[in-house]
Amino acid sequence: MTMSRISASLLAMVGLVAAAMAWRLGIWTSGQPGPGLFPFATGILLSATAIFSAIQTRNPEDGDGPVDFRRLGQYAVAIIGFGIAMKPLGTLIATFGLIGGVLRFIEDRSRGHAFAVAVVLAGLSWGIFRYLLGVPLPPGFMEIQ
């Protein structure tokens, strides 16, 4: 078994454990999403993705490529920056900045592509969390609620 399959199997188990723990929090209560809905969905998604990854890795000779620590560090900085920017800038702007910045500067996409994807995904995620799930999100200096 390759290291990729071992890692994917461990991640699948972590996802299933997280989903089981989230189930106990309540997925849906009183006609609205419960506190366990998002962790449950995340755990199931993690498990499904990990299982798909383990199945997809067929040839043990392919091996695991070297880790690009520079790129990994860039992603870490982007995620930390997102967490720091969330309160002062607000969810919508911070999410736009995270997605646009990652696509443009880490993934080397064109400005137009990065901008379009960032606008759509930031708007969708904000709308889903704010209106569908009823999560109170940080409005930031523009007071976007």
Q: pLDDT digits over 57-76, tens only?
A: 665 555 556 768 899 899 99
Query: Is residue 100 one of the residues assigned to a domain?
Result: yes
Query: Is residue 39 one of the residues assigned to a domain?
Result: yes
Query: Is residue 143 one of the residues assigned to a domain?
Result: no
Whether residues 39 and 92 fall in one domain: no
Whether residues 103 and 73 fall in one domain: yes
Query: Is residue 33 one of the residues assigned to a domain?
Result: yes
Q: How many domains does the chain have?
A: 2
Query: Is residue 19 one of the residues assigned to a domain?
Result: yes
- Cα–Cα distance measured from residue 100 to residue 95, given in angstroms and rounded to the nearest whole number: 8
pLDDT in tens, 20-53: 999 998 888 888 888 888 889 999 999 999 999 8
- Cα–Cα distance measured from residue 27 to residue 8, given in angstroms and rounded to the nearest whole number: 26
Which amino acid, residue 92?
Answer: L
Whole-number percent of the chain with pLDDT over 90:
56
Whether residues 79 and 124 fall in one domain: yes
pLDDT for res 64:
58
Domain residues for 32? Answer: 3-56
Whether residues 73 and 52 fall in one domain: no
pLDDT for res 65:
66
pLDDT for res 72:
86
- Do 54 and 5 contact (CB within 8 A), yes or no? yes
Query: Is residue 107 one of the residues assigned to a domain?
Result: yes
- Cα–Cα distance measured from residue 17 to residue 24, given in angstroms and rounded to the nearest whole number: 11
Average pLDDT, the chain: 88
Whether residues 81 and 52 fall in one domain: no
Give the bridge partners for 33, in sequence order.
28
Whether residues 42 and 16 fall in one domain: yes
- Cα–Cα distance measured from residue 106 to residue 125, given in angstroms and rounded to the nearest whole number: 21
- Do 105 and 74 contact (CB within 8 A), yes or no? yes
Whether residues 48 and 73 fall in one domain: no
